[in-house]
Structure 1
Amino acid sequence: MKKFRELKKNGDGTFGVVIKAEDMQSHDLVAIKKMKQKYHNFEECTNLREVKALMKLQNHPNIVKLKELFLDNDTLCLVFEFVDKSIYQMYIQQKEMGKTIPEDQIKSLIYQVANGLSYMHKHGYFHRDLKPENLLVSNNGVVKVIDLGCAREIRSRPPYTDYIATRWYRAPEILLKQANYNSPVDIFALGCIMAELFLNRPLFQGNSELEQFNKILSTLGTFTQSEWPEGCRLVSQMGLALAQFQPLQLQQLIPNASTEALNLLTQMIRWDPNKRITATQMLTHPFFYNIEKIAPPIIFEEQVKSKDELKFPEMEKKPKSYSQKEEPQNQFKQKQFVQQQPMEDDSNDLDDILDFITTENKPLPSKQSTQSSKSLEYGEYVPSIPQNRQPRNLQSSQLQEQQKKDNSSIYDFSHLQSFKPAKMPNTNSKY
C-alpha cells in the first residue's frame, strides 16, 4: 500500500471494504476494495469469480475499470477507477429538493446501464445484484456498473443462490425459488430501477420475500398458465395460493413518464423471463430515439487500443505486472456496425453464449403495440425483424450468424473482443 495514500473509508460490505485513496505516482484518485477473506497466493486471487469477470469485461465504458490488483499481507486489494456518486445518491438529492430526475437524464442513465449489460451478457456473465447503489455516475455523466462479486457465467450450472439480489429489485423467478434463473433477472432489476428514478421511491418495496412477491402481483396482475407456465409450476411447488389481481395502469402509477418510457418498462418487468426484452433489444427501443444528443459522447466514440496495463504484481518477476494481450480491433462509429471475428481463445465462450441466446431469449412476436398514452397497458415493443430471415432448419453455424444479426444494435459493443480501451479521462468523481 506504499504506492497509495488512503483518504477515507467509502463503504463496508459483506466481502470487502472500499477505501478512497490517491495514487502517489500519478496523483489519480482510486477506489481500493480490500477483501475480507485472506489469500495466500496470487493464483487464488486470479481464480476469483469477480476478478475473472472484471478481467473479461474490461473494455466497456459503462463497466467499472479494474486498474490493478495486489496482495498486501494476505489481503487482496482490487484497485478501481474512482467515481464519486451513485444513482441512488443522485435521485435522493433530487427528492430532498422536491424534484424528480428529468426524463432525458433517466433516458441516458438507463441506456448506459443497458449498454453495459448487453456487453456483459454477450460476453457470458450476468450481474445478479443490480440496484441504484451499484450504478455510479461520473462528473461527465458516464454510468459505471460496479460490484461484480455476485456475477455468474451464463453457461454455469445451477442451482444459484435465491437470496443473491437485493429484495426490492429481485425478479419473481428468484422469489419463487427457481434454480435456473439467468440474465433476464438483470432486466427485471433494471426495470425496477428505471421506475424508481421516475417515482423517487422503489417500485416494489416489500419487507419480506412474501410481501415483495405480493407487491409485484398487485401491480402486474395475477399471471395465468398461458402467461407464465413455469411460474404456475413454481407456485404449486411452494404450496402458495395466488390472490387474484388485475394489472394496474402504469401511466396512472407513473404519470410523469412518457408513452415510450412506459412501453419499455412493461417489457422489462414481465412475469415470464423468456418474454422480457433483452439488453441488446433495449438499445434500439424508440424510448432512446434521440440518445445521441443526450448521453455522453464517450460511449459512442471509436474504441482505440489502450496503452494501459492491468497490473498483477506476482505474475511476473521484473516489472511485477501483468499486461493483457493487446489485439488490433475494428473501429465503429454511430450508426455503423462492423462484424468482427472473435479472438481464438474466446470462440468457445461466444458459441456457448449464442446457444443460450437462441434457446433462452426467444425472439419477440412480430407485431408492435401502437397504444396511446391513455390506453397503454402491458403491450410490447418489438424490434423489427429482417424480411429475409432464414428458416429454423439452418445449419448451426448459419443459425448462430443469423442470430447475431437479429440481435445486433448500432450501439451494441458485444462484437468487440478483448483489448485494452483508450485511457478514459479522469472524471475525479466512487467505486
Structure 2
Amino acid sequence: MPPHSDLVQESRLETSYSLNSTRHIFYERGTSGRDRRVRLKERWKRQKRLGQGAYGTVWLEKCDRPARPNGPTVRAVKEIPFDSTTADDIDYHLELEAVMKFSQQRYLPSFVQSFGWFDTPEAIFITMEYVPNGDLQKYLANPIPEDEAKVIACQLAEGLRHMHRNGFTHRDLKPG
C-alpha cells in the first residue's frame, strides 16, 4: 500500500486489542496552557453485524469505557479484509482518502462522518457514526411519497457532485 496522505495519516487511531475489545488512545490538552497532554483510553466492544457487502462487513460497536465527554458511545465499523479475492479490486489508500476527505466539516450534511481508522495484519477498520435508521435500501423497502423521493434524489445528487468535483467516483452505488 502506498504512503498515506497527511489527512489519512492524521486520522489513524492509536489502537490496541484484547480478546473481545478494541482500545483507542487519544491525547488532549490539559485544562490550562501549562498542563501536559492528557492520555485518554476508550474501550469498544462489538455488538452485532449490521451488514455485509462485496468488500467487507459493517459492525455495530459500543463504547463501554468512554474517554471523551462529547465522544460517540456507539459507532459503525467497516471491516475490509486484506483478502486475496478482493485485494486486486480495492485501492485501500483511495478508500481511506475518500472517507477521510468527506468526513471534513464542510461535507457533513452529505456524508456519514468517520471517526478515524485502524488496521491489523488482516484488515482495515473504518470507524463511522452509527445511523440507527439503517441504510437507504432498508428505508425504501416500502413506498414513499413523491416529495420525499425528490428530497432523497437531491441529497444523493449533491453527495455525488461533491465526490466528482474532488476526483472521486462511487464504485458500489446501487438502487434501493
Give the aligned length: 120
Q: 2:159 aligns with which of 116, 125, 129?
A: 116
Describe the superposition over 1:93-122 as per-residue Cα deviations: whole angstroms up to 9, x where unpaired. Answer: x2xxxxx31111111111111111111111
Match of 1:87 in 2: 136
User: Do 2:48 and 2:59's aligned partners in 1 also have CA atoms closer than 8 Å?
Assistant: yes
Per-residue deviation at 1:47? 5.8
Higher helix proportion (structure 1 or 2): 1
Which of structure 1's runs of 4+ aligned residues deviate more than 6 A?
A: none
SS where residue 126 of structure 1 aligns? coil
Matched AA of 1:29: V
Would you say the 8 A contact 1:15–1:37 is kept in 2? no
In structure 1, the residue matched to 2:62 is 22
The CA deviation at 1:23 is 2.7
The residue type paired with residue 54 of structure 1 is V
Q: Secondary structure at the match of 1:128?
A: coil
Q: Which runs of 5+ in 1 are unaligned?
A: 39-45, 95-99, 134-431
Instruction: Look up the SS of the partner of 1:48 in the other structure.
Output: helix
Q: Which aligned pairs between 1:394-405 and structure 2 lie closer than 5 A? A: none
Written as runs of structure 1 = structure 2, the 5 A alignment for 1:299-338 is: none
Q: In 1, distance between residues paired with 2:79 and 2:122?
A: 10
Q: Secondary structure at the match of 2:117?
A: strand
Counterparts of 1:122-201 in structure 2, within 5 Å, are 122-132=165-175
- 1:28 CA displacement: 2.2
Q: What is residue 32 of structure 2 aligned with on the other side? A: none
Distance 2:56 2:120 in 1: 14
Task: Say whether the 8 Å CA contact 1:31–1:79 is kept in structure 2.
Answer: yes
**Higher strand proportion:** 2
Alignment of 1:197-276 (within 5 A): none
The corresponding residue for 2:47 is 7
State the shift of 1:131 in Å: 1.6
Secondary structure of the corresponding residue to residue 54 of structure 2: coil
Please list, as runs of the form range in 1=range in 2, the aligned pairs for 1:266-305 lying within 5 A after superposition: none
TM-superposed CA distance for 1:27, in Å, is 5.2
* Contact kept? 2:46, 2:61, Cα under 8 Å: yes
Matched residues in 2 for 1:27 and 1:47: separation?
A: 25
Question: Is the counterpart of residue 70 in structure 1 residue 118 in structure 2?
Answer: yes
Supply the RMSD in Å over aligned alpha carbons: 2.2
Output the amino acid matched with 2:138: Q
CA drift at 1:69: 0.6
**Normalising by the residue count of structure 1, what TM-score does the alignment of the two structures yield?**
0.26
2:47–2:59: 8 Å Cα contact kept in structure 1? Answer: yes
Structure number with the bigger relative contact order (C-alpha 8 A, sep ≥ 6) is 1
Three-state SS of the structure 1 residue aligned to 2:140 is helix
Alpha-carbon contact 2:100-2:116 (below 8 Å) kept:
no
Q: Quote the offset at 1:31 in angstroms.
A: 0.6
Change (3 A) 1:73 1:23: farther
Q: Give the CA deviation at 1:11.
A: 1.7
Q: CA deviation at 1:75?
A: 3.0
Distance of aligned partners of 1:115 and 1:15 in 2 relative to their CA distance in 1, 3 Å threshold: same
CA–CA separation in structure 2 for the residues paired with 1:128 and 1:75: 20
Deviations along 1:388-422, one digit per CA (max 9) or x if unpaired, are xxxxxxxxxxxxxxxxxxxxxxxxxxxxxxxxxxx
Change (3 A) 1:47 1:36: closer
Task: Return the index of the structure with the highest Cα Rg.
Answer: 1
Identity score, percent: 28
